[in-house]
Amino acid sequence: MISPSSLYLHIPFCRIKCTYCAFNTYVNLDNLIEPFVQAMIQEIKIVGSSKDRQQLHTVYIGGGTPSLLTAEQLQRILAAIQSEFDLLPGSEISMESNPSDLTSDYMASVRAIGVNRLSIGMQSANESELKLFERRHDLNAVIKAVEAARKGGFDNLNLDLIYGIPQQTLADWENSLKVLLQLQPEHVSLYALGLEDGTPLKTWVETGKYPAPDDDLAADMYDLATDMLGGAGLAQYEISNWSKPGLECKHNLQYWRNLPYPGVGPGAHGYADGVRYSTILSPQRYIKVMKETQNNFVYPRTPATDQAVVVDRDSEIAETLIMGLRLTQEGIDRETFRQRFGEDLLDVHPETIARYEKHGLLYVDDKVVRITTKGRLLSNMVFRDLV
């Protein structure tokens, strides 16, 4: 059976570059947004037309800050997707957003064009942490954004929080979690702060302006979050993600099940027809190559494709294991694995799996292999040994 694809769209614009951010995103390029929308529509047409009509069951508009696009621009992008793909009934259409952009009129318009899942970058409920990140919103803007989204008709909201922030105490983190729970999101994503090369935050830590994140404290924060979110009826289904029952992010499940997702836009990543690829980073170059484009690209490549690697069987197995073990409830279904690769998962890594099962890091039965609560703390070691 051919499973439907997911489509990722990368919107590479932001108003302000947050101090921790290493995503492919640019400020002060608002004049390029409209030419970019036209270029993205062109790329969607190429991806859609270079293969027999494909079924999609999720679309994810990420970035960057997709909420810098008008509802009309988003509508044209979605119309291009609908004309080039079979968007299945009930498809999940997610969009990331910055709280400062979310008025109730904008939310109602975005909901009306078909976006049915909204991710709001809350990041913290503590003003000092939002200032450290140079986020362009305060807590009040987050509360108003959630109100606007609800008023606009969104019943599937994700809120993101970051933990392990320099100078953040366990009490600060507890406060962020409490405020988040008061906002009653259907889905929560928690990210441990990473100090990324080239970011101001990394420089500040390296020069001693701020202390380095404390790994032990971050582990305590993770445990606290697990207790608080679980206690509020949000079930953990992935190492960093919790949701109300049935509202897991279908798009991200596609990644963790290692299933196909073409990606479009500058700096997008994609995986389709056995090819893993990334696109050119510069929005200016992206607009230029898409304008000058000729057809005849071999799916999933487009004029914007930069790097592309054909994934061999061993790599596909390794990626399927690493991604699948992130799914804390679902794990890796042994029958699905056998159908995909023609052999039982336990025959691929018999000794490693037996050893980790014996030490209580992996749970194994006739149907699944999955990571245990104890294994989650050592997940990097388990993943490394399995590839």
**Which residues bind to ligand SF4, rule: CB under 6 A?**
14, 17-18, 21, 23, 25, 63-65, 98, 121
Integer CA distances (angstroms), 4 to 61, 238, 272, 286, 324, in order: 18, 21, 11, 27, 18
**Coil/strand/helix, residue 51:** coil
Q: Residue 236 or 252: which CB sits closer to ligand SF4?
A: 252
Residue 265 corresponds to which tokens in the numbers above?
């836009």
CB of residue 37 to ligand SF4, shortest distance in Å: 18
Q: Residue 107 or 122: which CB sits closer to ligand SF4?
A: 122
C-alpha to C-alpha distance for 245 and 342, rounded to whole angstroms: 32
CB of residue 132 to ligand SF4, shortest distance in Å: 13
Q: Residue 17 or 285: which CB sits closer to ligand SF4?
A: 17
CB of residue 251 to ligand SF4, shortest distance in Å: 17
Q: Residue 119 or 302: which CB sits closer to ligand SF4?
A: 119
C-alpha to C-alpha distance for 76 and 63, rounded to whole angstroms: 18
Q: Residue 134 or 273: which CB sits closer to ligand SF4?
A: 134
Q: Residue 17 or 51: which CB sits closer to ligand SF4?
A: 17
Q: Residue 25 or 176: which CB sits closer to ligand SF4?
A: 25
Count helices and strands (H / E) in the chain: 16, 15
DSSP 166: T
Instruction: Dump strand ranges (E) for the chain.
Output: 5-11, 55-63, 86-97, 117-123, 157-163, 187-192, 235-238, 241-243, 263-264, 269-272, 275-279, 305-310, 332-333, 362-364, 368-371
C-alpha to C-alpha distance for 321 and 210, rounded to whole angstroms: 37
DSSP 212: P
Q: Residue 65 or 305: which CB sits closer to ligand SF4?
A: 65
C-alpha to C-alpha distance for 186 and 119, rounded to whole angstroms: 10
CB of residue 135 to ligand SF4, shortest distance in Å: 7
Backbone angles phi, psi at 206, to 5 degrees: -65, -30
DSSP per position, 115-152: --EEEEEEE-S-HHHHHHTT-S--HHHHHHHHHHHHHT
CB of residue 161 to ligand SF4, shortest distance in Å: 13
CB of residue 68 to ligand SF4, shortest distance in Å: 9
Cβ atoms within 10 Å, residue 62: 19
C-alpha to C-alpha distance for 166 and 193, rounded to whole angstroms: 9
CB of residue 278 to ligand SF4, shortest distance in Å: 17
CB of residue 63 to ligand SF4, shortest distance in Å: 6
Q: Residue 58 or 98: which CB sits closer to ligand SF4?
A: 98
CB of residue 168 to ligand SF4, shortest distance in Å: 17
Q: Residue 121 or 324: which CB sits closer to ligand SF4?
A: 121
* Cα 227-230-234 angle, rounded to 5 deg: 145
CB of residue 62 to ligand SF4, shortest distance in Å: 9
Residues with Cβ < 8 Å from 46, sequence gap 6 or more?
A: 293, 295, 297, 302, 303
